[in-house]
Each structure stands twice: as C-alpha cells, then as structure tokens.
Structure 1
Amino acid sequence: MTFQKLRTNRWNHWIIIHVRYLVGFAFFPSGLTKLAGNRFTSISTDTPIGYFFEAMYRTGFYWNFLGLCQITAGILLMTQRYALLGALMFLAILSNIWIITISLSFTGTWVITSLMMVAVITLLVWDYYKLAPIFSYNRSMTIPSYPDPDRMWINAGIIYTACLMGLSLPGPVHKDWGQWISRILVLAVFLTFLVSNYKMYKKRSLLLKNQV
C-alpha cells in the first residue's frame, strides 16, 4: 500500500522521469568516446588505473562495443517508454564500473559511481511490478497497472538525446562554429526543460481546478 502511494504520487513521478534523463546522459560522453575509438583517459600507464584503461583501449572492437552499449542504455532511459530495459542494461554496465572504481581505488570516483548505483536501483524499484512476474514464475498474481509517462516527456527525451549527444561528441570542432553550436544545443535543452515542466504545471493546475 505504501508503494502504491509512492508510485501514484505526481511529484515522485516527476523525479523519476528526470532521474532517468540524468542517468541516461551520464553514459553519453564516455560512450561516444569509446565508440569513436578514442582513449577515455590520459593517465600514465605507470599507474594501475592508467594501465587498466590502456589495456581496455587496446582491445579494439571490444572498446567500441562498450561504448555502443553505454549509448544504447542511455537512449533507452531517455525514451521513458523503454526506461526499464535501459535501467537493466545500465545496471549490468555500471556494476562493473562500480567494482572497478572501488578495486582500483579511484580517488572520489567511487562515490560518484555509488550514487549512480543508488539511482539505477531506485529506477528498478520504481518499475518492480514489471519484473515481478519473473520472480513469481508459475504462480498466479495480480499485476498493478500504472500510467506511462505522457507523450510530452517522451518528446522531451528525444530532444534531450539529440542535444546532449551533440554536446558530448568527441573530436576536433571548428572553434567559432563549435561555440555557437554548443550554445544553441544548451539553449534547446534549457527551453525543453522549461516548456515541458510548464506544460506539466498547467495540466496539474487544470486537473486540480476540475476536481474542485
């Protein structure tokens, strides 16, 4: 019953939607770097961390494959509709990264990856009712139905994906053009955030007015 209240709360719904956006974006910069075949760090190979990343980089196609998986997980989270699949992919990838940051004693990085783990687990708990049949095999059960995110949030996710991937693209860019493109993309992200949340506010106000 407590989960039912949490799950149907509009503010919790809003928070989860934006956590999906944030977590999804987290993989874009590193994923695109790997997919493009570039090194992720310039740390000297004399250190365990630098040696590890250099070895990963030299695997070639596997390095690109990791980047592709990261980008795919991020895009799925951004879509909102396929967010559960994205969260499952993200958990599989992030679990490895989290253990690596702890075992190699990354300074401070393990804190960031730990917070990301908490965020991903929260997303999975939010959609646990979709996973419940897997853990209740061959047993009858009632699956609750919750509304999917509005089309507005799906459209916002598409815009966020395009803009944030554009901002995360590695490689040389003409200085003047690069600055203007970056400003336009940042502005598009900001306007998308304002418009989508304003529409949510208006919709909620109208709903409350009709209830009165």
Structure 2
Amino acid sequence: MRLATSLDRLHSRVKQIRWFRDFAVFNRVALALGFLPSGYVKIAGERFTDLATCHPMGNYLEALHRTGYYYTFIGVLQLMAAVLLLIPRTATLGAMIYFPIILNICILSLAVRFEGSLLTSPLMLLANLYLLCWDYDKLKYVFPFQPPAARQQAGI
C-alpha cells in the first residue's frame, strides 16, 4: 500500500472523530490568543518584554525592537496569522503563516534557554503542527506523495 493512500485513510478516519475536531478548534483559538497581544505590542512599537539586556533573550528582543519596520512586520504577520486562524475558511492559511514564526520562537527560546517560553513555545509549535496535519487534505497536493496522474487531475 502506498504512503499517500495510508495517510488519506488515516486522515479521513481521524477527521470523523468529534474529539479531534473539537481539539482542532481549541488549538486554533489558543494559538490565536497567543499571538494577538504580542502582535499588537509590536505594531504599536512598544517593547515586547522588560527583560534586561544582560540576558540573552532580552538582548535579542532589544535588538529586534531597534530594527524598526521589521519589528512591526513581525507584529503584522502575528496578528494576521491569529485572525486567519479564527476564521474557519482561512484557518489553513493562518496555520501556514503561524508555523515559521512559532518555529523561530521555539528554536530561539531553546537556544538561549529562556525559561519564560521553554514549555510554551514547543507546545505552541506542536499545536500548530496538529493543525497542519488536521488540514492534510488541503495541503497534501503540495507534497510529492501524489502520483503525477493525481496531480494533473487536481490541476497541479
């Protein structure tokens, strides 16, 4: 049996279970609530934290704040990802935008051993991965699992 067929069958069975569907909605709302305040703070031009610059994370965030429009750009993307996650029709796009941002935050938190997000950022990354897996039926055409004939039928 091919990998794509196995994934399709597993995904369709999981999508029919109410608990998994409710968990996807919970993750969408929780992830959105995680980025709404931080995105707003960046767009407003305020510092994200009061950490001292002698701390590696505080030093990084101070430098990030001083970049100017890049800091604002990250805030706009965070707010956009959060809002898109809250709208069912655009939740997949929101999860796709959310992924590189939270991956960067997670790696940074682990790299500088920042206690403030050593637990939350990996959990947010896992929740985002869950949402991407939940939307596998929409994203599967991006991955090379489909045979060329199936791609042509899908218009790819």
Q: Which runs of 4+ in 1 moved over 4 A?
A: none
Residue 90 of structure 1, CA deviation: 0.4
Q: Does 2:87 correspond to 1:74? A: no
Match of residue 150 from structure 2: 141
Give the alignment's TM-score, normalised by structure 2: 0.85
Q: Does 2:68 correspond to 1:60? A: yes
Structure 2 unmatched runs, 5+ = 1-8, 152-156
User: Distance in 2 between the 1:105 and 1:42 partners?
Assistant: 17
- Whether the 8 Å CA contact 1:94–1:113 is kept in 2: the answer is yes
Match of residue 15 from structure 2: 7
Q: Does 2:104 correspond to 1:96? A: yes
Give the alignment's TM-score, normalised by structure 1: 0.63
Match of residue 118 from structure 1: 126
Gap change, CA 1:91 and 1:80, over 3 Å in 2: same
Residue 138 of structure 1, CA deviation: 6.4
Which residue, 100, 108, 114 being the options, matches 1:106?
114
Structure 1 unmatched runs, 5+ = 143-212
Which residue, 25, 28, 31 being the options, matches 2:36?
28
Q: Aligned with 2:141: secondary structure?
A: helix
User: Distance in 1 between the 2:72 and 2:99 partners?
Assistant: 19
User: Distance in 2 between the 1:87 and 1:54 partners?
Assistant: 27
User: Distance in 2 between the 1:66 and 1:76 partners?
Assistant: 15
User: Distance in 2 between the 1:24 and 1:103 partners?
Assistant: 24
- Whether the 8 Å CA contact 1:28–1:71 is kept in 2: the answer is yes
- Aligned-residue CA RMSD in angstroms? 1.6
* 1:61-110 Cα shifts (integer Å, max 9, x gaps): 11111100000000000001111110011001111111110111101512
User: Distance in 2 between the 1:13 and 1:141 partners?
Assistant: 27
The number of equivalent residue pairs is 142
